[in-house]
């Protein structure tokens, strides 16, 4: 751990990191455990990950916790994910507040169980003034849906016809109050971004690792930062 930390340069560190937390089911299957156990172990990764993010000076972390496509999973698994989300906030909220972490939610609250919706809103409300780092839970989230919603909300805000621009649209995205996405990480060896932060990832560096999410450790985050610092970011220039 200390060796990889020493490899991180004082130079540019991503302000906003997005993570597709993939591999919980495969992790559980490899151990002859139910998928729900993979999700539980995956949830345990979040707190030490945020400690490392704070240490690195990262300003925001967006986690792909539940996509709009995940509704197609078995009812029992979906119900278990809601229970796990509620358990996470009920047991970790005090520590989150102590560490000055702000909780943000991106996605639609429609369709969520009332208790889950209440738990999310409580976490958002009780951490609203925290400023050390933002932990953005993308729950019931899909990037295509986010963009369509943003366009519709922009159109509804108009008092007279005007031209839509990127800057105007960005004000209506869930992430409008977050830094630009610099680094997008996906675990488990899959090489796709699965409808996650499509707009925001336009110039983000992509980092793929074979590590399954429950095995992702703080040193793996540091390793992704070391790789990030090797990249030459030109944003379309020379």
pLDDT in tens, 177-224: 999 999 999 999 999 999 999 999 999 999 999 999 999 999 999 999
pLDDT band with cut points at 50, 70 and 90 for residue 3: confident
Non-local (6+) Cβ contacts of 52 within 8 A are 218, 221, 222
CATH architecture of the domain 14-230 equals: 3-Layer(aba) Sandwich (3.40)
Beta strands in 115-178 (DSSP E): 133-141
Write out the DSSP string of 101-115: EEEEEES--TTS-HH
* Residue matched to tokens 């796709």: 192
CA distances from 8 to 18, 211, 219, 230, 236 (A): 19, 20, 11, 10, 26
Q: What pTM does this model have? A: 0.96
Residue 130 is predicted with a pLDDT of 98
* Residue matched to tokens 């400690």: 51
d(CA 143, CA 118): 23
Average pLDDT over residues 18-33: 98
pLDDT band with cut points at 50, 70 and 90 for residue 236: confident
pLDDT in tens, 45-82: 999 999 999 999 999 999 999 999 999 999 999 999 99
Average pLDDT over residues 83-94: 97
Residue 238 is predicted with a pLDDT of 64
Task: Determine whether 22 is an active site residue.
Answer: yes
Q: Name the β-bridge partners of 185.
A: 19, 207
Q: How many Cα neighbours within 13 Å face the side chain of 164?
A: 14
Catalytically annotated residue among 22, 136, 140, 182: 22
Reported for 36-40, long-range contacts at CB under 8 A and 24+ positions apart, including other chains, are 36/77, 36/80, 36/84, 38/214, 39/80, 39/81, 39/84, 40/84
Identify which of 89, 81, 90, 94 has the alpha carbon closest to the alpha carbon of residue 105: 89
d(CA 222, CA 209): 13
Residue 109 is predicted with a pLDDT of 98
């Amino acid at each position: 751990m200390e060796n990889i930390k020493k490899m991180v340069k004082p130079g540019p560190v991503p302000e906003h990191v997005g993570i597709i937390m993939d591999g919980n089911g495969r992790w559980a299957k490899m151990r002859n455990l139910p998928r729900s156990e993979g999700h539980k172990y995956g949830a345990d990764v979040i707190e030490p990950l945020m400690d490392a993010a704070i240490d690195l000076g990262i300003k925001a972390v967006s986690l792909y916790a539940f996509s709009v496509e995940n509704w197609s999973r078995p009812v029992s698994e979906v119900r278990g994910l809601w229970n796990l989300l509620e358990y996470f906030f009920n047991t970790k909220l005090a520590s989150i507040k102590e560490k000055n972490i702000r909780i943000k939610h991106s996605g639609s609250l429609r369709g969520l169980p009332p208790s889950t919706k209440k738990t999310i809103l409580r976490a958002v409300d009780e951490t609203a003034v925290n400023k050390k780092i933002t932990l953005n839970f993308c729950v019931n989230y899909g990037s295509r849906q986010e963009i369509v919603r943003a366009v519709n909300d922009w159109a509804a805000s108009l008092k007279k016809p005007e031209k839509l621009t990127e800057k105007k649209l960005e004000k209506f995205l869930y992430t409008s109050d977050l830094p630009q996405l610099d680094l997008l990480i996906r675990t488990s060896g899959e090489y796709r971004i699965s409808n996650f932060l499509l707009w925001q990832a336009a110039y983000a560096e992509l980092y793929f690792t074979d590590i399954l999410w429950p095995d992702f450790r703080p040193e793996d985050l540091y390793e992704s930062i070391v790789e990030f610092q090797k990249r030459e970011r030109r944003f379309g220039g020379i």
